[in-house]
Copies of this chain bind each other. A is one copy, B any other.
Amino acid sequence: MGELPDKRTAFIEWYLEVIEAAQLTDKRYPVKGMNVWTPYGFRARRCLDAVLIREIEATGSEAVEFPALIPSTEFAKEAEHIQGFNAQVYWVTKGGLAELDVPLVLRPTSETAMYPIFSLWVRSHRDLPLNVYQIVNTFRYETKTTRPFLRVREIHFFEEHTCQVNEDAATARVASNLDAFAKMAAALDLPYLPVRRPEWDKFAGAFYSIALDIPVGEGRTLQIGSIHHYRENFSRPYGIQYEASDGSTHFAHQTTFGLSERLLGAVVAVHGDAKGVVFPSAIAPHQIVIVPIPAAAGTADPGAMAEGIASRLRQGGRRVHVDATDARPGAKYYFWELRGAPLRLEIGRREAEQGTVSATDRLGRKSTFPLEHVEVEVDRRLADFDRALMEQATERFRASFAYADSLAELAGSTQIRVVRWCGGEPCGRKIEEAIDGSVLGIPEGPLPLEPRAPGPCIACASIEGGAWALASRPL
């Protein structure tokens, strides 16, 4: 492989080449937008899932799994929802040699699979809240250009679905999901912004949608997840109601929280560099790669020493790989930089004889320490590495935003623009036209910029009831 394309000037080319060179995916599978999870990519995915599972289960959500096939009759029950997904679903029309009486939809998302059953599970206020999630694959007949992890037709999907006693409880669940996501993002060293989408861009059937957006350079953004408040929009057509302690019956208020393999694409997009992928230690397939450097005969054996260190490190649950192939050390360094291993340990004759270890982290910082304290020294370096990765990402994140005071400033913007917006759709559409992109919506929480005094709407110059909105070109 030659040099990678320049990430800053040719992001997509860089991205496509780096994920393939690092062997995270094989996109030669003969169905467009459906890719193979290779052994290395699957390891990263498993670690990513472990982070999601840990944080969502800490909030009391329980894992379930619903079938992948949904009867078209159930799918059709919520009008906005089916309208939103109709052009995107795969239809199973034949089973064995015969046409099916009721065609089945391959789930694009699971509201319509789960909610008929929720109506059986939820009877009394004592059954609430119902907080369940599943990690499954979903299917969307995507018409836009597909890109591994970022836009695919078979999506590795995390979806939480909840039922709450009323609107306030559902609003509180949204807040709890935002907290859980903050912890997930921290584990991935990913700065992001939660943004409440404008009406015309919310999820099909939602009351409101909060998207989780990250900048990916050049004024572009990537939506890496979303949290939706449904109010009673689904509980009514699916009949999810409960009896309160006073005997009255009510429809549940519902929320959902969705994430996908895009998170893995985001990790590559945000942290990757000219040398390849950079994995935060939480999801690195191998957190530590040990390279033994062949020694002259008769001296201490770096290979055996490498194995000994690996086995000590594995005891604490660390993911360690010993690269004992017969490639040259330089080629191994290059290979593991490309694949994003956070920490590399080198064991040569000198190290073997002196009882020391040489370490280089994926940000290029070198050090040496006594073998005796390998566990604590490795843990300290991994923590340092994650801290530095987060700092670097945060600095770039902040530099991605800029205020704009006129529609003219939006044209060809290479930053995410923060604009004053009255909230009306006509003005929103003018802003979208000016930036040749989208109004992401209103951020939940503080902006990553110095605060400014309110001004007039950038489109209509109205000065009442406006808010700071974000506009960008979504990837």
A residues touching B (Cβ–Cβ < 8 Å)?
Answer: 26, 28-31, 34-39, 42-43, 45-46, 62-71, 73-74, 86-97, 104, 106, 113, 116-117, 120, 132, 137, 139, 141, 143, 154
Q: Which residue of B lies closest to A65 (CB)?
A: B37
A93 close to B95 (CB less than 8 A): no
Smallest beta-carbon distance A1→chain B, Å: 17
B67 close to A42 (CB less than 8 A): no
B154 close to A69 (CB less than 8 A): yes
Complex: how many Å from CA A89 to CA B94? 8
Smallest beta-carbon distance A111→chain B, Å: 14
Contacts A90-B94, A96-B89, A106-B92 known; A29 to B63 CB distance under 8 Å? no
Report B-chain residues with C-beta under 8 Å of the C-beta of A137: 68
B120 close to A28 (CB less than 8 A): yes
Contacts A38-B64, A66-B36, A154-B68 known; A28 to B93 CB distance under 8 Å? no
B67 close to A35 (CB less than 8 A): yes
Report B-chain residues with C-beta under 8 Å of the C-beta of A29: 66-67, 113, 116-117
The contact of A31 among B45, B67, B86, B91, by CB within 8 Å, is B67
Q: Which residue of B lies closest to A53 (CB)?
A: B46
Q: List, sorted by A's number, 20 A–B pairs whose CB atoms are closer than 8 Å.
A: A26-B117, A28-B120, A29-B113, A30-B116, A34-B67, A34-B69, A36-B64, A36-B67, A36-B117, A37-B64, A42-B62, A68-B137, A68-B154, A69-B90, A69-B154, A86-B96, A89-B96, A93-B93, A96-B141, A96-B143
A92 close to B92 (CB less than 8 A): yes
Smallest beta-carbon distance A138→chain B, Å: 10
Given pairs A29-B117, A30-B73, A31-B69, 8 additional interface contacts (CB within 8 A): A26-B117, A38-B64, A39-B132, A68-B68, A88-B96, A89-B95, A90-B95, A96-B143
Smallest beta-carbon distance A10→chain B, Å: 26
